[in-house]
């Protein structure tokens, strides 16, 4: 089985740090550690199975099918597979305004 390199953009790395910090402050550091571990496991699993994620529905509705997503609910990991690599662009609580976030983030990508 071919392994794909999984690369987080600077924005995705910032997303992880901000999620961790928010959970640590408003819930508990131990919970933040657990969520971070789960998200990192989900992201790492893309190395083996990058095509398993669904096409991101907000982008699919716009005719854009290049981006996929996987979940660790309620968190969504938005990524794209290109040239044998997986690029993670966004890691976010799915209850946020996804249309605006995706437009802002991916227009810059």
Residue 29 reports pLDDT greater than 70 = yes
Are 96 and 16 within 8 A, CB to CB? no
The pTM of the full predicted model, rounded to 2 decimals, is 0.89
The confidence score (pLDDT) of residue 101 equals 82
Q: How many CB atoms lie within 10 A of CB 46?
A: 22
**Domains of the chain by residue range:** 5-108
**How does DSSP classify residue 80?**
E
With bands split at pLDDT 50, 70 and 90, how would you rate the model's confidence at 105? confident
**Integer distance in angstroms from the first to the last C-alpha of the chain?**
29
Q: Is CATH 3.30.2310.20 correct for 5-108? A: yes
Q: Tens digits of per-residue pLDDT, 2-26?
A: 899 999 999 999 999 999 999 999 9
Q: Tens digits of per-residue pLDDT, 54-99?
A: 999 888 888 889 999 999 999 999 999 999 999 999 999 988 888 8
Q: Tens digits of per-residue pLDDT, 32-58?
A: 999 999 999 999 999 999 999 999 988
| 107: its two tokens | 């227009």
Are 88 and 79 within 8 A, CB to CB? yes
Strands (E), the chain: 5-8, 54-55, 67-72, 75-82, 85-93
Largest CA distance in the chain: 41
The confidence score (pLDDT) of residue 38 equals 97
């Amino acid at each position: 089985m071919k392994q794909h390199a999984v690369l987080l953009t600077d924005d995705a790395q910032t997303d992880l740090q901000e999620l961790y910090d928010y959970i640590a402050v408003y819930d508990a550091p131990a919970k933040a550690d657990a969520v971070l571990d789960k998200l990192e496991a989900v992201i790492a699993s893309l190395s083996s199975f990058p095509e398993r994620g669904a096409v991101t529905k907000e982008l699919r509705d716009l005719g854009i099918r290049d981006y996929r997503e996987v979940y660790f609910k309620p968190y969504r990991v938005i990524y794209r597979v290109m040239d044998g690599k997986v690029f993670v662009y966004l890691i976010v609580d799915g209850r946020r305004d996804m249309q605006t976030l995706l437009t802002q983030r991916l227009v810059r990508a």
